[in-house]
Structure 1
Amino acid sequence: MVKRTAFADAECPVARSLDAIGDVWSLLIVRDAFDGICRFGEFQRNLGMARNILSARLRALVEHGIFELLPAADGSAYQQYRLTEKGRGLFPLIIGLRQWGEAFFFTQGEAHSRLVDRQTGQPIRPLELRAEDGRLLGPEDCRRLPAGEA
């Protein structure tokens, strides 16, 4: 089997983030956690993934501080997974992927799940990247500075 390259010490924040997230399964687990899923069996049923793969992904997400493992809230012998502050920080990423998918992977009028504001029931506005002064930014408006450069 080919060994995956580790980026934990990379200068690039994108590379380090992807090193922690790992793969598509991990993002789907995080997505499900935002939908309220917190137990191993619930993740397994919802995602339909093999137990050994789910176990490995959850273990890695806990090791990276994205989830914490807690006793079940109902007092049973089970455990549950809860997103940490670091894990909750993935919410804009999940929403960005959702909105990108809606824009480019569905045909006009094709049915798909929707995300709405719990309080108003209204759709979520598209994410926007803005400059410190409030200007809307696109890729052409940004540049990456190498580490150590001001």
Structure 2
Amino acid sequence: MIRRYLRAAWIALKLTVRGEHYLPPSPYPQLMLWVREAEALVDTIYRIADEDGLDDAARQKIVVVVDGRQMSMALILASVKYNMQREYPQLLRTRIDHNLTAFYAGNLNDRYRMQRLCEAESRTLFSQSLEHALQTLKQHLEAVPQVESPPKYNS
């Protein structure tokens, strides 16, 4: 038994010396794959928008009303990208009681914002390729896999 702890301490020391961190595998691999795909779709939207002349300043000027608040296209895309890069991976790596609930609630917010952006009157400024990319991301956000909570670690 003590060998197991010594081995873990040795590995931790080696990681610390190299300046690395151990990230345990996610108990939700299918959701992690879905998150990576969504992040790639957001990057595609940015690329297409830039090619179409909709730089960040232009995206700031495209405003939609979401629950009574004005939100720019830039803010909506940035929040979705942030969630895909930071929030969702962190939620999916941990085994906290309500992490899946928080994940699905966050996705619901992202879906609603993307829906409002896709329905905006200013979408007439979008090229067909940008419109298609926005619709693809919206559909991807609607198709999040449903998973069960994994068993908890033994205490």
Q: Answer 1 or 2: higher relative contact order, Cα 8 Å, separation at least 6.
A: 2
- Asked whether the two chains share a fold, i.e. TM above 0.5, the reply is no
Q: Give me the TM-score of the superposition, normalised by structure 2.
A: 0.24
Query: Which one has a bigger Cα radius of gyration?
Result: 2
Normalised by the length of structure 1, the TM-score is 0.25
